[in-house]
């Protein structure tokens, strides 16, 4: 059951206004019309995406995985379609120094059984050397296949930080789609759920009502990211958003043996 607000003056600071159920339902119905329009536009964009042309390339290009060099064609695992996430990599960096933005994407794609059942394979590609990548994959507990594309040309290699789709026709391989930046967000279901909450993502760029909780602050900027930061990238052992010397990408704190570290430990070039 719901209660009837006795006095609007009793509204809670920094929280949504209090209303009766009928008032809430009317406002919800009005927003629902916008949500439905947004969904239909998304469907139209997806239809246009399916009509993009495709680019053929050499499917024998070698990538390196746990079994050594294999042709890119093997990543399809006999299926007709393939989705990959291209994970950025810092040469020589320990686990806590790897790309936190890419970690959020890779962490949310730990199981591909629904894709596989639809005839779509999934893999993560990175420019790291395999001898560095393998222990990182083991530490993170990733079950999806990873491959080093360090010496591969685009579209197998090239710029990282993107979702890229491929199609196979026998031994012929084609690039069909690629997106980066916020285009990667569909993989991260946590963000979609947070968008439904009254406090949202609590990021500095969001259009939030006055008085709502602000984006968490952090220490000195690292890698070009200032404060307030995108809260889910890094945290300290207590879960507070932090770019300090003992922080890690958030999911790493769930890994056995993960402890505070003295430094982000980034060394060498960013590939």
**Phi, then psi, of 108 in degrees rounded to 5:** -80, -10
pLDDT of residue 222: 39
52 pLDDT exceeds 80?
A: yes
250, HSE (Cβ side, Cα atoms, 13 Å): 16
With cut-offs at 50, 70 and 90, classify the pLDDT of residue 147. very high
What percent of the chain lies above the pLDDT cut of 90? Answer: 71
Q: Tell me, what's the pLDDT at 75?
A: 98
Query: What's the CATH code, domain 55-254?
Result: 3.40.30.10
Mean pLDDT, residues 242-264: 85
Residue 226: pLDDT above 50?
Answer: no
Could you please report the per-residue DSSP string of 195-238?
A: TTSTTTT--TTS---TTSPPPPP-SS-BTTB-SS--TTSEE-TT
Instruction: Give pLDDT tens digits for 155-209.
Output: 999 999 999 999 999 999 999 999 999 999 999 999 999 999 999 988 878 898 9
Is residue 220's pLDDT more than 80?
Answer: no
Residues in contact with 109: Cβ distance below 8 Å, sequence separation at least 6, in sequence order: 85, 122, 124, 144, 187
Tokens at 233, concatenated: 């990238």
Distances from the Cα of 151 to the Cαs of 52, 69, 126, 177, 178, in angstroms? 28, 11, 10, 22, 20
């Amino acid at each position: 059951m719901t209660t009837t607000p006795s006095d609007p003056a009793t509204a809670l600071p920094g929280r949504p206004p209090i209303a009766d159920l009928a008032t809430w339902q009317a406002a919800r119905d009005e927003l629902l019309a916008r949500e439905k329009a947004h969904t239909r536009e998304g469907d139209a964009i997806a239809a246009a995406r399916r009509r993009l042309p495709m680019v053929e390339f050499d499917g024998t290009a070698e990538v390196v995985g746990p079994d050594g060099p294999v042709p890119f064609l093997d990543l399809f695992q006999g299926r007709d379609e393939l989705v990959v996430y291209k994970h950025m990599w810092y040469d020589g960096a320990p686990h806590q120094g790897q790309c936190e933005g890419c970690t959020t994407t890779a962490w949310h794609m730990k199981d591909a059984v629904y894709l596989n059942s639809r005839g779509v394979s999934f893999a993560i590609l990175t420019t790291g050397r395999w001898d560095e990548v393998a222990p990182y994959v083991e530490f993170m507990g990733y079950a999806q296949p990873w491959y080093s594309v360090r010496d591969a040309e685009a579209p197998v290699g090239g710029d990282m930080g993107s979702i890229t789709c491929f199609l196979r026709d026998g031994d012929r391989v084609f690039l069909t789609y690629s997106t980066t930046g916020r285009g990667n967000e569909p993989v991260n279901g946590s963000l979609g759920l947070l968008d439904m909450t009254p406090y949202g993502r609590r990021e500095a760029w969001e259009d939030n009502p006055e008085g709502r909780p602000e984006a968490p602050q952090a220490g000195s900027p690292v890698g070009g990211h200032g404060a307030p930061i995108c809260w889910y990238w890094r945290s300290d052992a207590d879960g507070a958003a932090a770019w300090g010397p003992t922080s890690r990408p958030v999911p790493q704190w769930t890994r056995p043996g993960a402890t505070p570290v003295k430094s982000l430990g980034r060394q060498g070039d960013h590939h």
